[in-house]
Structure 1
């Protein structure tokens, strides 16, 4: 026994030193920290704010996420893809300046047309300066997070997510502002995080040069354009669904969906961590087949027991947020099982990015986006909020089957 323990510990250390495992661990730990802070954030918000305020705030936050997603142009993915081979300072400066300028322009347009686009969010006109500050800070930190991961400095990404937990401290002091207080607490953490991210990057000798590197843009465009389209298609539903629920079922149902999704997103963070690390390693020239197998094995080893635990104790977890949110238990259980199929689709997306197979990337992401939004709207109108859960499960099950067909056609299996 005395001999076996050091041997096992040495093996653990050896595995942890592999960039794929090490970065996956810190990205996953960051996700769990974010989820933990998010849980307490919404638990406190539910205690001090009305359900309607929570619903409006979540829609505001989703609108910010959607504007940033639209403005990315795929450059956040290009930072990871091209960091190993180009001037990091110029690449990062370009990836910050161009999308953030577009995001702020889109934010101004959204504020000006909110009565037509989403009348339920007319409050955005009265908080326009705050909205634009949060939008800009979130846009910049999004790129800086990708840069930290691209540098294989995911422990710094972990530190950044710890700092984001500061949003909890702002909730109670801002309660007099209603929905704006929740939104402000959410956004202020990104303003603080921006400065920490720049400091951590400087310690790795990376200091973004604000300007447009036209050579980088030309070289990255083919990859960026495809990654941009695929990123929008895959991520847009997460931003659109809360707004869609607000329109179809009202603010209280929006709060129920957002809180339930926030809890289940702990599961979605597992494939996000491993597949992000897989993409980073592939971009650095790592061997793919073995990395993919290790990624899948590690994900399912964590996902399956996590799904079981969350399904069994989901009602108790929701009750900690508030008794009004317990009705989301059925939605929580369906979304939890969907995580298995989400992980397979996410793994394929990382493979396609590394292989620069933009066509397959867009085919899968386009299918998922259209099916999830179309089925979600149809089934939610018929079955209520649980209809969105049915849409998640059906969409990603079909997406997994589509992945199998694509892999077989290309001879990758």
Structure 2
């Protein structure tokens, strides 16, 4: 081999530059890192958002706002109708215009309908939350649900089309919610919620503009053929997504009902901070789904995604486990009481990572039924254990339920891996 003066001076630097350049060209790593960076920015902005909110608003106002935001996420989840997964799976295979337009229009309309139904049910089922009786809250809730739906679906379109840089831009623009917290303090709980809504408004405008200009013009009609051809995949993924996300979204409401507003706020903040680590396996999992849908080798991609996730996660988990009390204290001294919960959530990240990589593998293989069964077990186990343990141990019980649930999940995934000879 010819002598290279650059390499001879610093071979490690030369090799690392070559490695980084190669990873930047690899679509799996490129999409994963853009998504991870986007989610880290979102999480950092979210953490800063709650630091400021905790100092500007009372613990009770923050507790009500967390329940309201969880309700919003629940509505958007129900309104997705499985199109979030269908966009990723079918965008490389179908006409982009009809896939994007149909997904956006159907989910936007569903968000308005589901939001209205949720408000009517909440007035009956949770009369203690008097904010649902106020027309201003109800209108704001439905409008923000619509904007959130557009922003979420637009983000999936960016990722499915391998334009994760636009996903990053979307995350950056949502940071507008932080400065608007200050002038909205007079509104109390509604001020926190309105700040979130302004972030979704900016993201929704960006999504519609960039999709129309950079990917495909948005049409004003729904394509019935696409709905029929993707119905089975969409519907099963929809049910699976509901079972997956519902426990996480219900938990702040459950803690609020079993304990009080202050404990709900502590739970929400500790859970949000503890699950930051999951940005890594989640990003690699989504990228694995995208690459598999584009025809990349699934086994090799899965091994690369798993190895990279583990290496990046380990130091992050250690930081949360040993220094999480300091991070909680940055918000307010009262939140340090949730340090025990934070440590359990952080340690649970490793079994959760196995699950996060298992789901996209099964989606690419069109084994949606197995995902549905797994998420059903997870949903009922997590909610049942949480109800029993929170009543006895407070918010720490939610951590015990979380850890126990994912240990069961890992055993399930291991059984599938052995049966299908992945290992």
The TM-score bracket by the shorter chain reads: over 0.9
Please give the residue correspondences for 1:305-384 in structure 2 after superposition, counting only pairs within 5 Å: 305-384=315-394
Q: Residue 99 of structure 2 corresponds to which residue in structure 1? A: 91
Across the aligned residues of Structure 1 and Structure 2, the Cα RMSD in angstroms comes to: 1.2
* 2:253 alignment partner, one of 221, 243, 246: 243
1:64-91 Cα offsets, whole Å, 9 max, x none, are: 1101111211111100000001111111
**Normalized against structure 1, the TM-score is what?**
0.98
Q: Residue 111 of structure 1 corresponds to which residue in structure 2? A: 119
Q: CA deviation at 1:3?
A: 5.2
Is 2:284 the partner of 1:277?
Answer: no
**What SS class does the counterpart of residue 291 from structure 1 fall into?**
helix
Is 2:9 the partner of 1:2?
Answer: yes
**What SS class does the counterpart of residue 166 from structure 1 fall into?**
helix
CA distance in 2, matches of 1:35, 1:340: 19
Q: CA deviation at 1:124?
A: 2.9
Is 2:215 the partner of 1:208?
Answer: no
Query: Is residue 360–residue 406 contact of structure 1 (8 Å, CA) maintained in 2?
Result: no
Of 310-319 and 192-201, more deviation after overlay is shown by: 192-201
Q: Residue 4 of structure 2 corresponds to which residue in structure 1? A: none
Is 2:152 the partner of 1:142?
Answer: yes
Query: Is residue 112–residue 145 contact of structure 2 (8 Å, CA) maintained in 1?
Result: yes
Q: Residue 396 of structure 2 corresponds to which residue in structure 1? A: 386
Unmatched segments (≥5 aa) in structure 1 = none
* 1:192 alignment partner, one of 183, 202, 206: 202
1:27-79 Cα offsets, whole Å, 9 max, x none, are: 00011101110111000000010000001001111001101111211111100
Query: Is residue 123–residue 132 contact of structure 2 (8 Å, CA) maintained in 1?
Result: no
Is 2:110 the partner of 1:102?
Answer: yes
Query: Is residue 49–residue 177 contact of structure 2 (8 Å, CA) maintained in 1?
Result: yes
1:268-294 Cα offsets, whole Å, 9 max, x none, are: 111110000000000001101110000
CA distance in 1, matches of 2:116, 2:20: 51
CA distance in 2, matches of 1:354, 1:7: 34
Is 2:191 the partner of 1:181?
Answer: yes
Q: Residue 293 of structure 1 corresponds to which residue in structure 2? A: 303
CA distance in 2, matches of 1:191, 1:139: 10
**What SS class does the counterpart of residue 210 from structure 1 fall into?**
coil
Is 2:236 the partner of 1:226?
Answer: yes
Query: Is residue 341–residue 396 contact of structure 1 (8 Å, CA) maintained in 2?
Result: yes
CA distance in 2, matches of 1:11, 1:200: 31
Q: CA deviation at 1:16?
A: 1.7
CA distance in 2, matches of 1:113, 1:308: 42
Query: Is residue 37–residue 168 contact of structure 1 (8 Å, CA) maintained in 2?
Result: yes
CA distance in 1, matches of 2:78, 2:420: 30
Query: Is residue 73–residue 228 contact of structure 1 (8 Å, CA) maintained in 2?
Result: yes
CA distance in 2, matches of 1:120, 1:92: 40
CA distance in 1, matches of 2:317, 2:98: 42
CA distance in 2, matches of 1:153, 1:341: 29
Query: Is residue 386–residue 401 contact of structure 2 (8 Å, CA) maintained in 1?
Result: yes
Query: Is residue 123–residue 133 contact of structure 2 (8 Å, CA) maintained in 1?
Result: no
Of 5-14 and 167-176, more deviation after overlay is shown by: 5-14
Q: CA deviation at 1:105?
A: 1.0
CA distance in 2, matches of 1:339, 1:141: 27
Is 2:273 the partner of 1:263?
Answer: yes
Is 2:411 the partner of 1:398?
Answer: no
Q: CA deviation at 1:248?
A: 0.5
Query: Is residue 34–residue 165 contact of structure 1 (8 Å, CA) maintained in 2?
Result: yes
Q: CA deviation at 1:337?
A: 0.6
* 2:43 alignment partner, one of 27, 30, 35: 35
